[in-house]
Chain A
Amino acid sequence: MADETRAPEPAASSERPRSEGGRPGGDRPRFGGPGRGPGGPGREGGPGGRKFFRRKKVCKFCVEKIEDINYKDYRLLGQFVAESGKIVPRRLTGVCAPHQHRLSSAIKQARNIALLPFAGRAS
């Protein structure tokens, strides 16, 4: 039982053989873990054995209260696009889910009208 860091789980965890390999907290759904929501409940003491903390990233749109994510402002959208032209996942940028959806639709529209590239560096 030494590796049983997941205290709230009842005795069911000892019966499941696959939980032995899940030490870094891989297969157990844990809210506030991968997401960077404001004030995530996973911060307190870090259950599940995550050895390091990412600094809490905040959603740029929520903080600056930008509501109009338009395909036309390619400069704003370009901040969320990688060098290769790919849309950066929200676990790296810290954007919240609804804003990420709008952002990705806007980026796709901008790509269609040649304001952003599909692949390659944005000029």
Chain B
Amino acid sequence: MNRTYELMFIVRPDMTDEDLDKLISTLQSAVPASLGTVKSVEKMGKRRLAYTVRRFNDGIYVLMIVEGGGAAIHELERRLRVTEPVIKFLTVRVDEEQKRLEKIKKLRDAKKKVSGQPAPSAEEGAAVPAAETPASA
């Protein structure tokens, strides 16, 4: 399974740093059991929430990138639901989106390398002259 998920969750603001680390390691330990790997964890710091969630106005945001199947996310979300300090979470599947962005980046890099034209036109339009130049040469 090579699905990539971004899991962002908000923790109540009165958590200490070490409690937060403990929580994150507990969550991380749940992942390998369901055939997944945690690629990265990023603590995004305390932020003011746009609306009140469970009577909190601030929260500590944590972003976790997980690779694995749906079972890994299912397990993680189950744990997040019962964990008391976590007040909100959101999971987004990002592998398709990343594939699309990679493709666009590749197209753009190829366009820059092949054509020396100063004014880049639209991508589809640029792919055609890029393909035509070797044919005409």
* B50 touches which of A65, A71, A109, A117 (Cβ 8 Å): A117
With both chains docked as a complex, state the minimum distance between the C-beta of B45 and any C-beta of chain A, in angstroms. 13
Interface size range on A against B = 10 to 19
Instruction: Note all chain B residues with C-beta closer than 8 A to A115.
Output: 47, 50
The answer to whether B104 touches A114 (Cβ under 8 A) is no
- Bound state CA distance, A118 and B100, in angstroms? 29
Residue B8 at the A interface, CB < 8 A?
Answer: yes
Q: What does DSSP make chain B's interface, helix, strand, loop or mixed?
A: strand
Residue of B nearest to A121 (CB): B50
- Bound state CA distance, A118 and B51, in angstroms? 8
The answer to whether B90 touches A109 (Cβ under 8 A) is yes
Please encode chain A, from 68 to 91, with 1 for each CB lying within 8 Å of some chain B CB and 0 for all others.
100110000000000000000000
Instruction: Note all chain B residues with C-beta closer than 8 A to A117.
Output: 50-51
Instruction: Note all chain B residues with C-beta closer than 8 A to A118.
Output: 50-51
Residue of B nearest to A120 (CB): B51
- Bound state CA distance, A114 and B56, in angstroms? 11
Which residues does A use to contact B, with CB under 8 Å? 65, 67-68, 71-72, 109, 111-118, 120, 122-123
The 8 closest A-B pairs by CB, nearest first: A117-B50, A114-B49, A113-B90, A114-B50, A117-B51, A67-B104, A116-B50, A112-B90
What would be 30 A-B contacts, judged by CB atoms less than 8 Å apart?
A67-B100, A67-B101, A67-B104, A71-B90, A71-B92, A72-B8, A72-B63, A109-B90, A111-B50, A112-B88, A113-B8, A113-B10, A113-B88, A113-B89, A114-B10, A114-B49, A114-B50, A114-B51, A114-B53, A114-B88, A115-B47, A115-B50, A116-B50, A117-B50, A117-B51, A118-B50, A118-B51, A120-B51, A122-B50, A123-B50
